[in-house]
Amino acid sequence: MAQIIDGKAVAQAVKENVARKVEQLQERGIRPCLAVIIIGDDPASRTYVNNKKKACEATGILSKEISLDKETTTEQLLNVINELNDDMSVHGILCQLPLPKQIDENKIIAAISPEKDVDAFHALNVGRLFQGVQNLQPCTPSGVIVLLDYYGLPIEGKNCVIIGRSNIVGKPMAMLLLQRNGTVTVAHSKTADLKAITGMADILISAVGKPGFVTADMVKEGAIVIDVGINRDEQGKLCGDVCFDEVEKKASFITPVPGGVGPMTVAMLMENTVRAARLQYQ
Ligand code: NDP
């Protein structure tokens, strides 16, 4: 039976560490501030933004919410971002995705100042990640690394298989594992014989977005299974990509959903906000 990786507890430890760093910055007269832009009234986005605000409160980071109408244009959003870029009291800027269809997401990501880009989606931060330069790093993949480290699970020399190649999870996850000397395979919807590939994984990370996608027959005995997926099952209950009940019997370590990677993403956002504030005052 696998040991459960308790993302909630690790996230709490990360946030306590962030709170200490916030105190130190405040002693120097700096109050880290995160601006979160939310457009429209998507309930999932609202929940995510509320969670981020709560984490700010818990760590002493000032949070600033900018709620915009669902009809907002790219130009209007760019104006808001430019103002936040110029505002010295704001250290981190996050635009809650997904954006309404009329907004050009690439333009928005490119407009956020790289120093304030706490999601680390800007091309400059992506480039730095590829170069292995320590900088702002995308929250979900860096949260996964912190989880592995917290449980003392080595990455070096391990076969790491990621299912999913999105810009926000799969690709940056591959870079971070590579930096830690993992041997990385990135699988996707066109991958042939997925089961043969996942069956070789010492560390299997699923970021597909389909409930029940990872079954026990895809997992090697004793593998570490990290479930990034956040989905709703047929009953509307929150679930990951992994068939938890059957995979738990085969894996050595496993993250639950909820309570696994999700809380880490928010905790790492707090970490990034403090890092951004420090970088801006260096
Ligand atoms: P995307 O939809 O952008 O990417 C999904 C990936 O899964 C794609 O690369 C796709 O391949 C791949 N895929 C789809 N079907 C298959 C298949 N049959 N076999 C193999 N690969 C497949 O999703 P995201 O990366 O944005 O998110 C993935 C999941 O993670 C979602 O559930 C999301 O909610 C969750 N998430 C959770 C976070 C957290 O904090 N825990 C943060 C961000 C996301 P292809 O590229 O070929 O289409």
Separate counts of helices (H) and strands (E) for the chain: 10, 11
Number of neighbours of residue 130 by Cβ within 10 angstroms: 13
* pLDDT score recorded for residue 37: 98
- Atom of ligand 1 at shortest range from CA of 231: 32
Cα end-to-end span (Å), the chain: 48
Residues 159 and 51: their CA atoms lie apart, in Å, by: 34
- Atom of ligand 1 at shortest range from CA of 169: 25
User: Which two structure tokens, joined as six digits, stand for 76?
Assistant: 């209007």
* pLDDT score recorded for residue 201: 99
Nearest to 101 by CA among 187, 42, 58: 42
Residue 219's contacts (CB-CB under 8 Å, 6 or more residues apart) are 198, 199, 201, 204, 225, 247, 250, 251
Which residues does a 6 A CB cutoff place in the pocket of ligand 1? 140, 163-166, 168-170, 187-191, 194, 207-209, 228-231, 261-262, 265
From 189, 227, 233, give the residue whose CB has the most ligand 1 atoms within 8 Å, as the site to mutate. 189
**SS3 state at 12:** helix
Residue 153's contacts (CB-CB under 8 Å, 6 or more residues apart) are 203, 224, 253
**Taking the mean position of all CA atoms in its chain, how far away is CA 115?**
18
Partners of 80 in beta bridges? none
Residue 222's contacts (CB-CB under 8 Å, 6 or more residues apart) are 250, 251, 252
What parts of the chain have a pLDDT lower than 50?
none
Residues 1 and 249: their CA atoms lie apart, in Å, by: 5
The residues carrying an active-site annotation are 52, 96, 119
Q: How far is the CA of 164 from the centre of ligand 1 (A)?
A: 5
Beta strand ranges found along 98-252 (DSSP E): 159-163, 183-187, 203-206, 224-227, 231-232, 238-239
Domains detected in the chain: 29-113 (3.40.50.10860), 139-262 (3.40.50.720)
Residues 98 and 100: their CA atoms lie apart, in Å, by: 7
Check: pTM over 0.95? Answer yes or no.
Answer: yes
